[in-house]
Chains A and B, each alone.
Chain A
Amino acid sequence: MLENIKMVVSNYSSLFGQGILYTLLLAVIAVTCGTIFGTFVALMKMSKNKVLSTIATAYIELFRNTPLLLQLYIFYFIFPEFGINLSPFAAVSVGLVMNTTAYISEIIRSGIQSVDKGQTEAARSLGLNQAQALMKVVLPQAMKNILPALANEFVTDIKETSLASTFFVGDLMTTYRTINGATYLSLEPLFVVGVIYFALSFTLSKLVAVLERRMGKE
């Protein structure tokens, strides 16, 4: 077994490297785009406009209460239906972004709502409009809660992207499937992939913890 692990690592090291790259890339895409769209969804949900807030709530609930794998399948199959040709990687990325957006919008919303209402009132009493109060006063304070949670979401996404391997998009689990197909070995490549996932997640979570402590001190 140990022999086989050594063999897998030395013969397929570039494939593992590629897997790490794709896994990180998917997580970066999901969290970056998810943060941008999630901000809009959060603002929609908090809006006084009933239509906007209902749409946002429906979106969030839909994506949080169905399995990610099912969502990925749907995004994989839905584009060809409309004659749109997307690579599996692109289709899966869209699915991940849509899913992450739902989770991140809730992170941003609770971050904003954690800031005392008096801060908004003070800003508005000086003559700032809603958007100015949000940008200058509320969001900078909300960041303290939002940033660590976003970083945690990134760590979660690194693990969740393993589902993307269902569509052979080059992530770490895809690496396992490729090696498994070529060598008929199961456990050995799985162990290697597992160690890599653990190293990525564990290191990043520790970094998040440090970040959190730093921000708490300020």
Chain B
Amino acid sequence: MIRFEHISKNFGHLEVLKDITQHVNENEIVSLIGPSGSGKSTLLRCMNLLEVPTSGHIYLNGEDITAKGVNINLHRQKMGMVFQHFNVFPNMSVEENITMAPILLNKMGKEEAHIKAMNLLDRVGLRDKADVKPTKLSGGQKQRLAIVRALAMEPEVMLFDEPTSALDPEMVGEVLSVIRGLAKTGMTMMIVTHEMGFAREISDRVFFMNDGIIAEEGTPDKIFEAPENARLKDFLGKVL
């Protein structure tokens, strides 16, 4: 479903990503783990071109979205993204956070968007918050809102950039359980996370990133039970 070939990204003289080639299949859940600064988030942000790769190509359903003249806005509609710091829109109500993009981008009419928003809010237990401003929500509630905001566009892929890293510990569970629910629907997902237990439980495959490359990849069992890469062994030794 997503294929990325020879992705490199430089910030000035700093090489953050070094010639990475990989793919994510339809209905597959891939977790990106690794030490801070290894390039996980940057790689994820390259998928919807929030970060434009210095070189390389990204294919969504076979179409090169890095090619010149491509309308990236249309492709981004198919790729939902959830951020570490939620980035919910404080100038809109909870419901408007969800309905704004689908209505503005003519994906659905007002009535349909409203019904959809209510169903989504139901799903994450926020229906009674539809009319409040997100500033009144807790961190966990904000992140659940951010997830359904992305889902309202009916994306084919969901990108999660450390979705629980900014949360108080007691709120991590509620967000993870929403992502778990999403996994059951067969959603294709890429998740950058420091929650090793979660990555192991939910993923079909895990990419271990280190120093701008995917140093090792494989099933969770292989990555966590039988790591080969020395840096991965060292990393797991510190975090598990």
Closest residue of chain A to B149 (Cβ to Cβ) is: A126
Chain B residues within 8 Å of chain A by Cβ, number: 25
Assess whether A127 is in contact with B77, with CB atoms less than 8 Å apart: yes
Interface digits, B96-137 against A, CB 8 Å rule (1 contact, 0 not)? 000011001100000000000000000000000000000000
CA distance A127 to B85 in the complex (A): 19
| Most interface-central of A116, A121, A126, A128 (chain B CB within 10 A) | A126
Closest residue of chain B to A119 (Cβ to Cβ) is: B87
Closest residue of chain B to A144 (Cβ to Cβ) is: B91
B207 within 8 A of A: no
A65 within 8 A of B: no
Closest residue of chain B to A126 (Cβ to Cβ) is: B101
A10 within 8 A of B: no
B213 within 8 A of A: no
A50 within 8 A of B: no
Interface digits, B44-88 against A, CB 8 Å rule (1 contact, 0 not)? 000010100000000000000000000001101101110101011
Assess whether A124 is in contact with B77, with CB atoms less than 8 Å apart: no
CA distance A23 to B114 in the complex (A): 49
Using Cβ atoms and an 8 Å threshold, which residues of chain A touch B77? 126-127
Closest residue of chain A to B153 (Cβ to Cβ) is: A126
Closest residue of chain A to B75 (Cβ to Cβ) is: A127
Assess whether B100 is in contact with A136, with CB atoms less than 8 Å apart: yes
Interface digits, A126-155 against B, CB 8 Å rule (1 contact, 0 not)? 111100100011001100000000000000
| Most interface-central of B87, B100, B104, B150 (chain A CB within 10 A) | B87
Closest residue of chain B to A139 (Cβ to Cβ) is: B91
Assess whether A118 is in contact with B85, with CB atoms less than 8 Å apart: yes
B90 within 8 A of A: yes
Closest residue of chain B to A140 (Cβ to Cβ) is: B91
Interface digits, B158-192 against A, CB 8 Å rule (1 contact, 0 not)? 01000000000000000000000000000000000
A209 within 8 A of B: no
B224 within 8 A of A: no
Say how far B46's CB is from chain A's closest CB, in angstroms.
13
Using Cβ atoms and an 8 Å threshold, which residues of chain B touch A21? none
A118, A119, A128: which contacts B73 (Cβ < 8 A)?
A128
Using Cβ atoms and an 8 Å threshold, which residues of chain A touch B91? 137, 140-141
Closest residue of chain A to B76 (Cβ to Cβ) is: A127
Closest residue of chain A to B81 (Cβ to Cβ) is: A125
Using Cβ atoms and an 8 Å threshold, which residues of chain A touch B80? 125-126
Assess whether B105 is in contact with A127, with CB atoms less than 8 Å apart: yes
Say how far A149's CB is from chain B's closest CB, in angstroms.
18
A122 within 8 A of B: yes
Using Cβ atoms and an 8 Å threshold, which residues of chain B touch A136? 100, 104
B235 within 8 A of A: no
CA distance A128 to B146 in the complex (A): 16
Closest residue of chain B to A121 (Cβ to Cβ) is: B50
B90, B101, B159: which contacts A128 (Cβ < 8 A)?
B101
Closest residue of chain A to B133 (Cβ to Cβ) is: A218
CA distance A60 to B3 in the complex (A): 46
Assess whether A127 is in contact with B73, with CB atoms less than 8 Å apart: yes
Using Cβ atoms and an 8 Å threshold, which residues of chain A touch B85? 116, 118
Say how far B159's CB is from chain A's closest CB, in angstroms.
8
CA distance A190 to B156 in the complex (A): 72
Contact status of A118 and B83, CB under 8 A, knowing A128-B104, A141-B90 = yes
Using Cβ atoms and an 8 Å threshold, which residues of chain B touch A129? 73
Closest residue of chain B to A130 (Cβ to Cβ) is: B73
CA distance A125 to B150 in the complex (A): 8
| Most interface-central of A125, A128, A137 (chain B CB within 10 A) | A125
Say how far A142's CB is from chain B's closest CB, in angstroms.
10
| Most interface-central of A121, A129, A140 (chain B CB within 10 A) | A121
CA distance A192 to B83 in the complex (A): 60
Q: Could you pull out 7 A-B pairs where Cβ atoms are within 8 angstroms?
A: A116-B85, A119-B87, A122-B88, A124-B73, A124-B76, A125-B80, A126-B77
Interface contacts beyond A118-B87, A125-B81, A126-B80: sample of 17 additional A-B pairs, CB < 8 Å, sorted by A: A121-B87, A122-B81, A122-B89, A122-B146, A123-B89, A124-B50, A124-B73, A126-B76, A126-B149, A126-B150, A127-B74, A127-B77, A127-B153, A129-B73, A136-B100, A137-B89, A141-B90
Closest CB pairs A-B (n = 8): A127-B77, A122-B87, A125-B81, A126-B101, A118-B87, A140-B91, A127-B76, A127-B73
